[in-house]
Amino acid sequence: MNYMAFLFILIVSIPIYMVCKWSLRRLKFGNDKNRKYLAVLPTIVLSPLVYVVIITLWVFSISYYSTIDFDQEIWQSNTEERFKMSKNIIESEILVGKTKEQVIALLGDKYYLNNEDGLTYGLGILPGLLNIDPSFLFIEFENGVVKKVYQYDS
């Protein structure tokens, strides 16, 4: 275990010990001498649990990003934050049934891959703990119209 984790658990254990000792006094459990020793056991159990909960909350908080509805102007001007609109584009199916020309008119001509099967637009890098690669929006065509839209990571 990392020394920082041990130090953090040690720092967290002090208020936990105090709360446990106070709770035992409120419940009138044991005498003053016993309470010191009785408060140690829940402190030993709760301190690592509190550490794990705090780290888990931290990981989830840095992986969160807000989503916004699709806006053509924002999409074309801010290419690094397109990921915020991708969920709306996929779930609302605003591209399904459109031709390639209509899609390019709506999303712009700054795409990475253009073949018979589809177009690929860069979404930028999604916020996350170990995310270093960009994500992409792939628009799949069948018989000249959009069949499916999905997001993938590179």
141: three-class secondary structure by DSSP:
strand
**Which of 97, 73, 69, 154 is CA-nearest to residue 120?**
154
pLDDT one-digit tens code per residue, 27-62: 888 887 888 888 899 999 999 999 999 988 888 877
How high is the pLDDT of residue 1? 60
* CA separation for the pair 58, 52 (Å, rounded): 10
Buried b (16+ CB within 10 A) or exposed e, 19-45: ebbeebeeeeeeeeeebeeebeebbee
CATH architecture of 72-153: 2-Layer Sandwich (3.30)
Q: What is the pLDDT of residue 15?
A: 94
Q: What residue segments make up the domains of the chain, in order of their start? A: 3-63, 72-153
What's the pLDDT score for residue 66? 81
Cα–Cα distance, 83 to 152 (Å, whole number): 11
Ranges of residues in the chain with a pLDDT under 50 are none
